[in-house]
Structures are given as C-alpha cells and as structure tokens.
Chains A and B, each alone.
Chain A
Amino acid sequence: MVDEITQVSAFGAAAVHALCISGLTAAHCFSGRGALVSDPAHALGLLVVFEAPLVIAVFSLIRRDPKQCSFLKAVVRGLLGLPIGALLNAFGAIVLGAPVGIKYWTATIYWSLLMSLFTFVPAACVFGASKVNWQNVLSHSKYITDSYIKIVLEVHSVDIFIICCVFPHISYCRPTNAVDYMISAPAHGAVIGAWLGAWPMPLDWERTWQEWPICVTYGSVAGYLIGMAISLLLIVTRKRRDRAKAD
C-alpha cells in the first residue's frame, strides 16, 4: 500500500516549492515594480500565466497514483480543476464582501484563478477525484496546528507523556504523507493570508493598495510563502522523527 504512493524527499519538496516561487518572481519581474498597484488586472493575469504551467506540471509529476494515471491525465485534471477552483474562490470572496462591479470583474477573475492555483489545482493534479484524499487535505488545518504544537514541544524537549496529558486530542500516530503537507500547508496559508489581507480595506488611509484585489493578493501570496516554509519544516521534522523511530 505504501509503495504505490510517491515518496518525496525534503529536497524534492524544496525544489517543488522553489519552482513555484520562481514562477511568482518571474511574473513579478516581468510586470515590473508596483504593477500590481497601478494595474492589478494586468499584473494578476501575468502571475496566472506564469504560475499556471509550472504548478500544473510540477504537481502532475508527483501525482499520487503514477501507475494508474499518466502524466497527461494529471495535467488534464489540473486544467479542469483550475476554473472549478476559481469559481469556488470567487464565490467565497463575494460572500465575504468582494465588490462585484463591472470595473472589478477582470481583476476578480484573475485573482480567483491565482487563488485556485494556490489551493485547488495542486490537489486536483495530485489526487484527482479521490474523496478520501481530499478530505484528508481539507482537514489538515487541524493536523498542522497539532503538529506545530508537537514540534514546539519537541524542540523544548518535553516528554511525550506530558504532551499526551496536556493535549489529549492530538492524534499522535496519524500517517501523513509529505505531499499532503506540501499541498495543504500553502493552500491554508494562502486562504488565511487572503482573509487577513482583506482587513485593511475599510481603513481610511486612502492608499491605492487598499483597493479590492490588491491587498488581498498581497496577503494570499504572503500566506502562500509562509505555508511553504511551514510545510518544509514539517516534512523535515517528520523525516527526522521517522528515522529516529526506525533506529
């Protein structure tokens, strides 16, 4: 059972993340400094164009079931997932109060495509339509916080017994895969970052970046990057612990 799941090493994960980041930076360099503020729709479009092929290709390579599913099939899954994820994200944004005027339509569409690339597409590429895996990733928010607590406690070399006493709800031996971390942590980061990024919008600072998709985009990108860092951290600590267990 274990052998059919692709194993990704910490370096592999770092490489995948580096590729994703390089897509973002390339788009940033190409559009120029401050382009997001002056012409958000254009800059977001560039970001999507640069990021989409990278994300789809990279996550199709590390698909969950390489035996049954070819690379091309995974790519097609990712391409299908892109608009679906964009729809979900746009719906969420509108529920939360994103403006819907004609002026904002293009920016909203590009933004939701970008969010879809951060959240939905990787999972679509890797898992396809497997319901269990999706649930697994969705419920990762809990496991991520749990494992974060564990890491913190382990860093401070607290006894496992005490951890179990203080946080009885932490399930200690849940099997999680490196790819799960790689997908869920940045996705959660992007969503939470976007949510936080919306907070400066009603303030009266009268800055241009308080317009609708700009600060939310900044927030989601920042959250995405932080999520990547966290996922790497989790993978590394997990490997180390596994190795220690094996010894």
Chain B
Amino acid sequence: MAAPATHGRRSRRRAWPLLFFTILALHSLAIYLFTRGFLLTRTELDVHSHRDDRTGISPGCSSWPPPAVDRLVIVVLDALRFDFVAPSTFFQEKQPWMDKLQVLQKLAAEEKTSARIFKALADPPTTSLQRLKALTTGGLPTFIDVGNSFGAPAIVEDNIMHQLVKNGKRVVMMGDDTWIQLYPEHFNNSFPYPSFNVKDLDTVDNGVIDHLLPSLRKNDWDVLIAHFLGVDHAGHIFGVDSNPMIQKLEQYNQILEDVIDTLKSLSTPGDIHENTLLLVMGDHGQTINGDHGGGTSEEVETSLFAWSPKSPPNAVFSVLDENSCNIDLHGKEVCISTMQQLDFAVTVAALLGIPFPFGSIGRVNPELYALSSGTWDNQKMGANDCIPQNDLEAWMQRYAEALCVNSWQVKRYIDLYSATSVIGFRAEYLDHVADLYSRAQANWSSVLKSTCPSETGTQDVLKECASKECTSSALRSQLDAYSKFLENFAKLARSSWTEFDLQLMGIGLSLMVLSVSTQACMLVKLNTNSQISDKERASSSSFPNFLFAFTLVAIRAASFLSNSYILAEGRVANFLLATSCIASVWHSATKGKFVIEEFVFLVLNIFIRFGIEFGMSKQISGPIISNDHPVSIICAFFGSFFCNSLMETFPIISLALVAYIILKCISYAMCQRFLKYFIISGSILSYIFIAIHWASESTFFYHAKAIKQIIISLAPQLVYTIGGLSLAISALYRLFGPIDNLKMNGRVTSLSAAMLCSWSPTILMLLGRQGPFVALICMTIAWCIIKLRQKHHRELKHDTLGVYVADPVLVTRWSLVAVCLFYLTGHCNDMKELIEKLAAKIDDLKTSLDKLAPLARVAEQLAMLPSKVVALQSSAFENQEQGFLQEMSQKDEKIKSIVSMGFPEDEAKMAITRCGLDASVEVLVDSIYALETAGNAYSANLSDYEDTESISFGRKKTKFMEGSQKKRKRYGSGSQGNPVPFDGSHEEPMPLPNPMVGFSLPSDRVRLVHRTLPDQAFGPPFFYYENVALAPKGVWTTISRFLYDIQPEFVDSKFFCAAARKRVYIHNLPIENRSPVLPRPPQNNI
C-alpha cells in the first residue's frame, strides 16, 4: 500500500517543473497576444521622395505637380474645436464659446471664392505630438512606432518639413516647442516657447504674438508656422465652458484680424503676399472638459480655415461642396466643407510644389486645392494646351494630374511597406487596392486621349467626343477612380494602424484567465495535498486571513481604475503594506504578545515611505526638495555640510553593510571549498570597485581629473566582468565538478547563493547610489517576513510539508513589498511616461469597446483615465476651482434673472463678462442697452487701433477695453464697467509660495512700500522681470533665487484696469517713495 503512494508522490514531484513551465508559457503567450492586439505598431520607413522621382506614366503625370502658392502661413491653434470656428447656426444650440472667432466667419461669408471653413477630421490618437507628426508626414502615427525611441521623438519618416528644406524653402516657426523636438534642424528661424507648463496660458501665445506680425512683414521666409497653445491649456485647466477660454478665443480673434489685415495690405500685385495662402487650423479638438487623446467626435473634429488674398475664378464653386451651407448670425450664407486631416500634408505639398512625403497616404483635397488661385492659372506649366478649355476643365485636368502623381506615390509606399515592414497588411485587401490602382491607371491614358486628341493624332476621337460634357465626364470618372483607390487604401491603413484588434485582445485575455485558473487549481490541489492532516483547523483559522488578503488585493486592483491612484501607486502599495502590518500587530496584541519582527517591519515601512516620497519630490520639482520632507528638515537642522557629507558617504556605508551580509550568507550556504573562495574574493573585489567608483564620482573626495575619468569608465566594466566570470565558473563547476552528496535542499541553497553573489554587484552598479539602501531594506524585510512565517508555522506545528502552504497575507505582503521596492529604486519615472501615453490610448480602446454593448460600463471607467492624466500636473491651485464654481453659480443666477426680463442669454453673459460678476442686475441691463446703441461704433472702433510692433498684445487689449468703457459713458448709460468689488471679498485663493502683494486691495495687510535689497542687487544696473503669476509651485521661488532672492511682488491688474492679469514682478528698482496704487472709487451708484 505504501509503495504506490510514494511512487505517486515522486512522479508528481517530477511533474511540477513541467507544469510550471506550461503555466509560464501560457502566461507569456497570453500577454503576447493581448499586446499584439493592443499596442498598434507601424514601421517607420526611412525613405524620402526626391525632386527627380519619375512616375513612369505618360504625360502630365510624370513629375511632381507645379507650385500654386508662393508663401504659406500656417497658424495652428492647439485643440481648436470645430464649433469654435463654425457659426453657431450650424449647431442645435448656441453655446457661450461659439462665434468668438468672428473674423474667420465674416471672411468665409464675404469672400466665398477665396475663404472657406473646413471641418477637419483628425485620426486618433489626438495628442499634439502625434497630430503634428501626422500633419507633416501625412501618415497615421501610432503611439509606439517601431523605430521610434522614447527619448528622442525626432521624425525619421519623410515629411513636409524635410521636403521644404530639401527644395530650398525657408521655414520660420514660432510657438510650441514640440516642433523643435520633432524637427530639430529644419527651421531657418525659430522662436520656441516651452509647452510643458499647462498652467501657463500666456507665455507661448505672447511669444508668438511678439514675433508673428513683424515676421509677416519680412520677406525672408516661404512657410511660416505659428503655433498657439492657449486654448489647449485653458481647456485642460478650466474646461471649454469657461471665462479664460472665451478670453483666449477673443484674443485670437484679434490676432487673426491683425494677421489678415497685414496680409491684405501686402497683397497687391508685386507685393510680398501676392500669392500667399493663410491656413488657420487646429491639430485636434477637445471635449467639454478639455481632454483629448481619444477618438470621440468632439476630440476628432477640428477645423481648418483657408484663405488666400487673391481669389480664384468663380468656377471654383463647382468644385466646392455646396451641401452644408447655412445662414450665419449676420444673415449671410456660410458654407462648410469636410476634409480628412490625413490629406493635409499631401495637399500642402501639392500647393507648394514640393515632392509629396514618401509615407503620406492622403489624397490631394480638391476643395483646399481649388481655393488657391494659383491652381487656376490656365495651365501655364502644362504642355498640353491643345484644345481651348474653360477654367473648370483646365483646373480639373491639373487636379487629375496631381491625383495621378498622388496615387502613384501612395502605391509606391504600399509596395515598399508591405515588402519591408514587420507586420504588413492582409494580402486580400492589398490585392483589392492594387486592382483599383491598375484600373485607375488604365483609364488615365484614355482620358488623356479624350482631353488631348492632338497628341494622339487621331481626329476620330475628337469628332466622337468633342462636346465639353464628354471631356469633363471622362475627367470626372478618372478623378473618381483615383479617389476610390486612395480612399480605400486610407481605410485599410486606418483599420490596421488605428483600430485595436479586439479578436486578438479577447483571445489573449481568455488565455490569461485560463492560465490563471489553471494555476489556481494547481495551488488548491497542492494545498489539499499537504493539509489533509489538519483540515478543520485550516478552515477555521485561515478564512479571515484569506478574506483580509483578498480585500487588500481587491483594493489594489480597484485602485488601477483611477489615474490618480495609478500615479500614486507606490504610496498606495505602501499604504496597504502598512495596513497589513498594523493589522498583524493588532492581531498579536489581542493574543497578548509582542513580536519584534512586526515592529521592525513597521519601522521599515516608514523608511520605504520616505524613500518613495523622496524619489517623487525629486521627480516633480527638479532639484528643489519640498520643505516638508524629513531629509530637508534634517539638513536644515545639522547644516548643509553635514548633510552633503552624509549624502556622499551614506551609499558607501550601506554598501559595506550589504557586502558584509552577503559574504556572511555565502560562507554559511556554500560548502564547495574552491568555488566558495573564488566567489567570495570576486564579490569582495567588485564591492571595492563599486565603492571606489562612487567615491570618485562624488565631490567629497578629491582626485586628479585623469584618474577620476579612468576609474569612472573602468570600474563598471570590471564589476560586470567579475560578475559574468563567477557566474560562468559556478555553472561550469555545477556541470563538471565533483558530484556532491548533498540533499536537494542544500544544493538549491548553495546554487542560489552563488547566483546571488555573482549578480548582486552588477545589479547594485546599475541601480546607482540608492541601490545599497534599497538592498538593505529588501534584505531586512525578507528576513522579517521569513521569520514571521517560521513563527507562524511553529505556532501551527506544521511539519516540513507545510513549506508549500503559504499564508495568503504573507504572499500579498511579498508582492506589495516588491512594488514598493520598485518605486524606491526610482525607476518609476520611465514607467510614468509610458503610463501617461497608454492612458490616452486606453481612451481609444474605449471607442472600440463601445461597439460591445455589455462592456460599455467598463469603457466608461476607462474613459475617465485621460482626464485625470491631464489634471495631474496641477498641484498648485487648490482653491481655484472652488472659488470658480462659486463664481459660476453666482453668474448663473444673474443670467437667469436677466433672461427672465426678456433679454437673450448670450447678451446677458456678455454683459456679465464686461461689468464684472458683482454688478447688480440693473447695471447689467443698462449695459446691454448701452451696447445696443453703441453697437456699430463699437465694431468700427476695432480697426482704429493700429498696432505698433513693439507693443505687447495684452496692453493693447487693455487700451481697447478702456476705450470701449469710455464710449459707454459717453452714451449716457448708467452702467460703469467696474469689474471687481474693492472690499476684498473677491480675492481668488491661489496657493502661491509668498505673501501676495497687490491682491485684494485695499488689504488688511500694510502695503509693501519699502524693502531691503541685498547689497549685490542694490543700485544700477537695474533689472525688472515680469511674468504671469500662474506658475506651478516653487517656480517663483526658483526665479527669485536666481535674482538675488528678491521677494516677488504679486500684482493683479484688475485693480486698475478692466483686464484681469495676474502678474509677478521681480525687480531692484528703488521703491522708497512708491505709494500704493488705489483703485478708482466705484461709480455705479444709481
């Protein structure tokens, strides 16, 4: 009876490794399949188009199309929603943010032949970087393009910028510095501004404004790109339906008006802007909350406005789509066309006459192409003006040629891509597309015959088909054929580059579930095997334990549903770990005993926590450690020298400790004499090398520079070599060495000790300075957990079989400790970047999941992620939102009461914006009346303010606002636009690091009229630094630190003018006799 039982056990034991590997394989397969469906990949081809590419197709289509415009001005307004530009009559309901860009609407209504509003449909992912890439390459970038390293996003694919440079066009860029990242050396002249700080609504925009108009008057560029970020940032912080957003849009309206005026004034024949095209466009849309990244219609729909000073002939109407026309606010008809953002790159390339980017898969957009009058210049370049053609036919001919080249270029890309890429397209789809192409090309020659019979020399065709309808219908069918080919391929590309493969993802997920459940089954089986003896005890004591562990795991899993918790993952894991420790302390306290290991565990938890926080603070605010951190408190207490020397020596001391422990470990664990001594000496050597390496890096020990260099470069190599050698020797020893008669357990122990010793120096070297600290904590925690487990087992009086049985709480603890250690090593920074990228992607997944109705709720949860990502960076501004909400509710009440009097809602809103929130309802009503009277003069006044180039825009606007106020006074209305109350009740709470000077006038605090300057800063040269106040925590302290520690002065201009501009000044101007500026007394007493 006993013999078969032992036999069975032995066979089972032999089967374990096999099962283990099966599960491992199943796991990896599942992960591979899932990521294969989830992480869309596209191979970037590093091939470029050239000016002398020949298509090899008969006339008209053999070379790149001729240029149609000379100069191009591209104004990119980041996150420009479609309804920012289109008139509100196109939508069901008028929203406060609509109709703010009046210039564009007016132009589109008045100059129908030369101005047009487009609804541009972007492709997900709708983030700025990917969109800029798409706009210039004409492709469909995914998040992880093969060949793209995370660090340097510079574009390797062929793109318009590259082509422009290659073809001698000069490009000027101003605004968002993402352009510089993407195109480091493509611009003749560039004025980049940091786009990183979401809080800052003005820096980038003001920078662009400073350079835009002066540049427009210059003649040293061919393409000008101005990228404004204000709307995007306003959306991220305040949402679309907010005052800052409306202010931004109004500001843009003003800028665009100036731009258009300038262009108009310089567009007379012979002037520099005679043949210029202006494009005002958004790179993507945004949701009402200001999020973008996903594929919802709000995010995808952006707008493009095209205008050229010279208008094409009236025949352009037959090209332009007349389907979606509507009457705008002023009773004029406005038409809107739709285009794909994908088509942008190739259309621009066709207009500028440069080779199309190699990887572009767009189609030359007929409407945008037709808008430029250059494309209507009666075939000056073409050789085949054989029969008299009317404007339209000539244009169609030219467009057909462009499309022909376009199709050829796309076909060339398809061929190369499917030949070289890692994951190509499906063959049947490819065949279909190729078939479409060959059919279209076959037609081309017959179309040529019909349009230009003189070339073929046969007069019959002319006779048969002399009528214009015949010619144009042939051309039309040809255009259709090309369009069909291009559209089909775009569809195919979209399906494989922007849509998740739900099938693969599903298979991956179900495989994962399968493998996890197999594992669970095996574990349960194992448990029952070993616990047969004390079944009832297990069931009674392990149930609460199991429940507790399960709760911890469930909480951790649930925390992944919120982005805030994902970003605070280290802290969440630490919190849960601490909870489990406290619970176990509690548990042992009820039994009336005190376990030292648990106390040590608790203290270690504190260490881990501070370590994680230290890493996070390092990452958030750069070199500045927040004042509240224990490390900085210690530093403040003991002085900086002590602190520095501690920082320098601490890693080396802890390294010595780690080395001691490991050596002790080996000497106990290993018995083979030769191997033991070799490995011990090897690890001692490598630890010494590491110590020398760190010591030479620090400033604490002085070395000659040359020696330092040698040590720094040599030490890591030596460490790695020793590690590899000892690993190889222990493996060889295992294979060929004398066979020892140790037990299984002992062999495993000695083997793992050897592994540990040979790996540990390498790992420590790679981890860097905090490595030994982490290792120490790791070892102590492991010791604690193992000790606790041993005690636990002793209590339950388990035999050796119980080794298999794991306490669920301890297992959970191990995993939580692992997470904490990961964050302790500080490698979370790289992960965080990846997470943020993926979060936007998950939103994308949501759109796909929407198709699966039962999963819709999960999708909703996932959709919350990107919104959180954006708000993440906001650590300042704590009360802003509350104050804002309060303000909004107040505003809503007022609007309601005015509307109930019979005024339109939008006018009520305008009045509140003008007169301030605290103006009484009567004042508001008066102001509406006054505006109606003043209406015409008001709008005429706008153009009075000719800009002088040096004046910044904010100031100009202020002047303008003052002007309008004066006007209202003149018209005798009782309203006075005093926008703010002066009782200090309106102060906006903003957690700025210093006392706020200038907010909430007249304040209860005595105004600062004198101060003491440091000696170096006293007297000339005087400096005066100014910037917006809304900066993240610590920025102003940093700035002030660099400016002799002069206290910044926070001033809000709303106390002396109508515009609210929160500014900060740091200067060393004498202020001895400065008197505080007092606001004008309120005049609105009726």
Which A residues are within 8 Å of any B CB, using their own CB? 91-92, 94-97, 99-104, 131, 135, 138-139, 142, 168-169, 195, 198, 202-204, 206-208
Contact = CB atoms under 8 A, between A and B. Distances in A.
A96 B575 CA distance: 5
Interface in B960-982: none
A130 B204 CA distance: 69
Given A99-B628, A204-B874, 12 more contacts: A95-B581, A97-B571, A103-B628, A138-B590, A142-B544, A168-B540, A169-B543, A195-B579, A198-B575, A202-B565, A204-B871, A207-B881
B521 interface: no
20 contacts: A95-B581, A97-B571, A97-B574, A100-B628, A101-B626, A101-B629, A102-B633, A103-B627, A103-B628, A131-B592, A139-B590, A142-B544, A202-B565, A202-B567, A202-B568, A204-B563, A204-B874, A207-B881, A207-B882, A208-B879
B578 A135 contact: no
B879 A96 contact: no
Contacts of A91: 602
Of B543, B565, B575, the most chain A CB neighbours within 10 A belong to B575
A101 B628 contact: yes
Contact of B606 (A94, A102, A169, A207): A94
A206 B589 contact: no
Of A138, A139, A206, the most chain B CB neighbours within 10 A belong to A206
Contacts of B605: 95
A206 B572 contact: no
B872 interface: yes
A138 B586 contact: yes
Given A95-B602, A97-B575, A101-B629, A135 B592 contact: yes
B628 A104 contact: yes
A206 B544 CA distance: 37
B609 A97 contact: yes
B630 interface: yes
A119 to B, nearest CB: 12
B1033 interface: no
B882 A202 contact: no
B825 interface: no
A131 B592 CA distance: 8
A202 B571 contact: yes
B155 interface: no
A8 to B, nearest CB: 23
B891 interface: no
B877 interface: yes
A169 B540 contact: yes
A144 B581 CA distance: 22
Nearest to B544: A142
Nearest to B869: A204
Interface in B22-36: none
B630 A100 contact: yes
Contacts of B644: none
A136 to B, nearest CB: 9
B816 to A, nearest CB: 13
A203 B605 CA distance: 22
Contacts of A168: 540
Contacts of B562: 203
A104 B627 CA distance: 11
Contacts, number: 75
Nearest to A169: B540
A92 to B, nearest CB: 6
Nearest to A132: B592
B629 A95 contact: no
A206 B582 contact: no
Contacts of A103: 627-628
Of A91, A95, A142, the most chain B CB neighbours within 10 A belong to A95
Contact of A206 (B586, B591, B633, B881): B881
Contacts of A102: 627-628, 633
Contacts of B986: none
A95 B578 contact: yes
A186 B968 CA distance: 65
A52 to B, nearest CB: 25
Interface in B521-542: 540
Nearest to A98: B609
Contacts of B880: 206
Contacts of B868: 204
Nearest to B582: A92
Contacts of A207: 878, 881-882
Interface in B576-620: 578-579, 581-582, 586, 589-592, 602, 605-606, 609
B564 interface: yes
Contact of B564 (A94, A131, A203): A203
A206 B628 contact: no
List the 9 shortest-distance A-B pairs measured between CB atoms, nearest first: A101-B628, A139-B590, A202-B568, A203-B564, A138-B590, A95-B578, A204-B564, A96-B578, A204-B871
Of A100, A102, A198, the most chain B CB neighbours within 10 A belong to A100
A101 B627 contact: yes
A24 B579 CA distance: 28
Contacts of B626: 101
Contacts of B591: 135
A95 B601 CA distance: 10
B633 A95 contact: no
A169 to B, nearest CB: 6
B578 A206 contact: no
A139 B568 CA distance: 33
B590 A135 contact: yes
Contact of A138 (B563, B572, B589, B882): B589
Given A169-B540, A202-B568, A206-B880, A101 B633 contact: yes
Contacts of A204: 563-564, 868, 871-872, 874
Interface in B420-454: none
Interface in B850-899: 868, 871-872, 874, 877-882
B540 to A, nearest CB: 6
Nearest to A96: B578
